[in-house]
Amino acid sequence: MHDKVQHTARKTAFLISLDPSAGLVNGRRVLIGKKTLPDCGGPLSVPAIDPQVGNSILSAVLAHLSDLHLPFEIAPSPRELAGKRLLSLLSWRLRRSKVHLWSSLEAVMADIRAAQPDLLAISGDLTNLGLPEELENARKWLAGTGFAQTVIPGNHDAMVPMPWSHGPGSWGHHGGMVAPEQPLLRFAGEREDVAIIGLNSAIPTPPFFASGRVGPTQLDTLEGLLQRLGAQNICRVIMIHHPPHPNLVVRRKALEDWHRFSAVVASTGAELILHGHSHRGTITELPGTDIPLIGVTSASHKPDHPEKAAGWNRITISRQETDWSISITRRRLGIDGHMASLPPVQFRRQLSSSDSQTA
């Protein structure tokens, strides 16, 4: 089925059902920017789900997590500290090592194991300095999650130039990208009608910069993938580290070619875009479209502030007669060490089958 190519027009719809306290605007838009929603409290309840209820068929459950910054002890050699890494090491030792904690990450992973998703969607920054030792530790960590997973690199994983096979390419057997300019494609769920497309936006940058770039090669491939998958009525979930939006991070940390990315996705369509990098659980739209753009907090951040506390997103995707139903439950770590949920967010994205199209 996945190799069949059809050329059909695509139309999308964007409808959100949300708790009134969570920022519903004009009946369709939710939570723009960095506003934090009230905590609902309580553990995540995951009842047995009937894969088909009425006309709705459960397709896949994803666990989106990002910016793990695995807090392994590191002892880089003087040679490895050339250039930008020295500044990053100072930042890690003085501040960030006190923020990214094993206890937070372990709480998040225990919560994910209880939820039993079909796939982990990990949107980058597994390391802190992108050292060979860190990249190998990240590979071992990925090998031990016990889940199917899709993994893309973040800017910390590509801090300095190095052969891809020695960097994030070493994660290839554990859901990673085999080449820096070859988008990752993986199907999730028993029906395999949900596709996760992973892009690499991680590039080495000068000191004090953490910007990213996708580049024309990946964008050309992405355009073809989105067209082909859309023609087959596959739910298309794009995952990228840097948010393709001008207002979610400062300019020195932004995606350089977000305009081109937005133009490609706007012309071909997608059902959902996941990102990391900002360490914020934001919900907004890809500029110029109604495509949901979803961020998540760092999976290892200490729970000292509700906007930054460690968390993950449970994304449930179900297929209905004429659209996709996408439900997002945002899980956050509280100062008491327990995970709790924010108000759920739901989207509907129209299928592109010929029966549902209009001229």
- Any idea which residue has 């990673």 for tokens? 176
Band of residue 352 on the pLDDT scale cut at 50, 70, 90: confident
Q: How far apart are CA 120 and CA 68, in angstroms?
A: 13
3 part of a folded domain? no
Contact criterion met (CB below 8 Å) for 105 and 111: no
39 part of a folded domain? yes
Q: Beginning with the edge strand found earlier in the chain, give each strand of the sheet holding 194-198 in spatial order.
A: 184-188, 194-198, 235-240, 272-275, 292-294, 283-285
Q: How far apart are CA 329 and CA 332, in angstroms?
A: 10
1 part of a folded domain? no
Band of residue 3 on the pLDDT scale cut at 50, 70, 90: very low
Does 45 score more than 60 pLDDT? no
Which residue would you say has higher pLDDT here, 76 or 296?
296
Residue 341 pairs with which residues in a beta bridge? Answer: 331
53 part of a folded domain? no
- pTM reported for the whole predicted model: 0.85
Does 29 score more than 70 pLDDT? no
Band of residue 83 on the pLDDT scale cut at 50, 70, 90: confident
Contact criterion met (CB below 8 Å) for 178 and 300: no
Query: Residue 80: what pLDDT?
Result: 86
Rounded to 5 degrees, φ, ψ at 234 are -90, 140
Which residue would you say has higher pLDDT here, 25 or 88?
88
What is the tally of structural domains in the chain?
1
Does 10 score more than 60 pLDDT? no
113 part of a folded domain? yes
Look up the CATH number of the domain holding residue 177: 3.60.21.10
Range of the domain at 116: 15-45+60-356
Taking only the tens place, the pLDDT of each residue in 215-271 is 999 999 999 999 999 999 999 999 999 999 999 999 999 999 999 999 999 999 999
88 part of a folded domain? yes
Band of residue 79 on the pLDDT scale cut at 50, 70, 90: confident
Q: How far apart are CA 308 and CA 329, in angstroms?
A: 16
9 part of a folded domain? no
Closest among 158, 164, 9, 6 to 84, alpha carbons compared: 158
128 part of a folded domain? yes
* Strands annotated E in the chain: 15-18, 52-53, 56-65, 119-122, 149-151, 184-188, 194-198, 235-240, 272-275, 283-285, 292-294, 311-319, 323-333, 339-341, 345-350
Taking only the tens place, the pLDDT of each residue in 136-191 is 999 999 999 999 999 999 999 999 999 999 999 999 999 999 999 999 999 999 89
